[in-house]
């Protein structure tokens, strides 16, 4: 059977109708930079992403993923529940707990009490939108500063930086047009993790792959990066569940 990039399939090979079944699904992805077949869990979408370097390799990647069906099902079963941005919630900002509070009126969200409380006007979706906008501004300011810092360290020129609401990825870099995009949700992580993410994307301006030479650039920028990579792996899904 020929598979294609972006196709969705049931995890259970006996499932019928592609992704229409009620069980877990596989999303097929072709990434020319991938050096091997791999499977990752997209906690937000509730599916497993099957990655191959070429479209021809998707068949083998699907077989590999289905051989890991028990592991995939277990990982999807324990993914964090959605946490809407609403009064009373406690979220993180740069790794510190921040409580969300509502105030009368339609005022914009703002940080108060030494950054331990976010107060905002609005109700329902309007309230959530104001809080999200504040978090995006905080993310832009912090990531812009860390990106510029790492660019200077490597002697790189400026880039176009954007803040996005990605499904599961924390960032992306397009060296050909010098564009870097970050997920705003990383502003909830501790500062060393935020710094690592900026270094990770800036390093792709030097090496577009994840070769040993690439990781040596990341290490030059932030030292031992393994703890921060592990932090995102362990806690990233919980951050992606915030504001859903």
> pLDDT tier at 161 (50, 70, 90 boundaries)?
very high
Task: Kindly give, in sequence order, each residue whose CB lies less than 8 Å from that of residue 88, ignoring residues fewer than 6 positions away.
Answer: 99, 100, 101
Give residue 187's pLDDT.
96
Q: Give start and end residues of each alpha helix (H) in 165-243.
A: 191-203, 212-222, 226-240
Give residue 237's pLDDT.
81
Paired strand residues for 242 = 83
- Summarised one tens digit per residue, pLDDT across range 48-96 is 899 999 988 899 999 999 998 888 888 887 777 778 899 999 999 999 9
- Summarised one tens digit per residue, pLDDT across range 5-19 is 889 988 877 654 343
Task: Kindly give, in sequence order, each residue whose CB lies less than 8 Å from that of residue 140, ignoring residues fewer than 6 positions away.
Answer: 161, 163, 184
Average pLDDT, the chain: 89
Give residue 184's pLDDT.
95
Give residue 181's pLDDT.
95
What CA–CA distance (Å, rounded) separates 111 from 78? 32
Return the higher-pLDDT residue of 167 and 123: 123
What CA–CA distance (Å, rounded) separates 88 from 100? 5
Mean pLDDT of 93-121: 93
CB-based contact 187:138 (threshold 8 Å): yes
pLDDT at 20 over 70: no
Backbone angles phi, psi at 217, to 5 degrees: -70, -45
Return the higher-pLDDT residue of 150 and 83: 150
- Summarised one tens digit per residue, pLDDT across range 32-54 is 888 888 998 876 677 889 999 99
Q: How many CB atoms lie within 10 A of CB 3?
A: 20
Give residue 77's pLDDT.
77
Mean pLDDT of 118-127: 94
Mean pLDDT of 102-128: 92
Mean pLDDT of 16-23: 46
Give residue 46's pLDDT.
77
CB-based contact 63:159 (threshold 8 Å): no
Percent of the chain with pLDDT over 90: 60
CB-based contact 122:113 (threshold 8 Å): no
**Going by DSSP bridges, is the β-strand pair 25-30/38-42 parallel, antiparallel, or unpaired?**
unpaired
SS3 75: helix
> pLDDT tier at 178 (50, 70, 90 boundaries)?
very high
pLDDT at 206 over 70: yes
- Summarised one tens digit per residue, pLDDT across range 188-202 is 999 999 999 999 999
pLDDT at 21 over 80: no
Query: What pTM does this model have?
Result: 0.72
Give residue 233's pLDDT.
84
């Amino acid at each position: 059977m020929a598979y294609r990039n972006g196709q969705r399939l049931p995890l259970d090979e006996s499932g019928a109708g592609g992704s229409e079944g009620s069980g877990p699904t596989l999303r097929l992805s072709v990434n020319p930079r991938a050096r091997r077949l791999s499977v990752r869990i997209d906690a937000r979408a509730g599916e497993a992403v099957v990655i191959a370097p070429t479209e021809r390799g998707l068949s083998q990647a699907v077989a590999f993923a289905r051989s890991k069906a028990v592991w995939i099902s277990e990982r999807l079963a324990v993914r964090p529940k959605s946490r809407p941005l609403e009064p009373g919630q406690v979220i993180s900002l740069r790794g510190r707990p921040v409580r969300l509070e509502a105030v009368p009126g339609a005022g914009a969200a703002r940080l108060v009490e030494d950054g331990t409380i976010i107060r905002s006007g609005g109700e329902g979706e309007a309230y959530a939108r104001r809080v999200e906008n504040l978090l995006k501004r905080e993310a832009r300011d912090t990531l812009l500063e860390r990106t510029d810092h790492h660019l200077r360290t490597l002697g790189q020129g400026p880039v176009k930086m954007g803040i996005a609401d990605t499904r599961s990825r924390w960032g992306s870099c397009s060296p050909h047009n010098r564009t870097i995009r970050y997920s705003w949700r990383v502003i909830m992580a501790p500062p060393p993790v935020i710094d690592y993410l900026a270094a990770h994307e800036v390093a792709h301006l030097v090496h577009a792959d994840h070769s040993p030479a690439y990781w040596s650039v990341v290490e030059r920028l932030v030292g031992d990066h393994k703890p921060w990579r592990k932090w995102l792996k362990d806690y990233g899904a919980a951050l992606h569940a915030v504001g859903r």
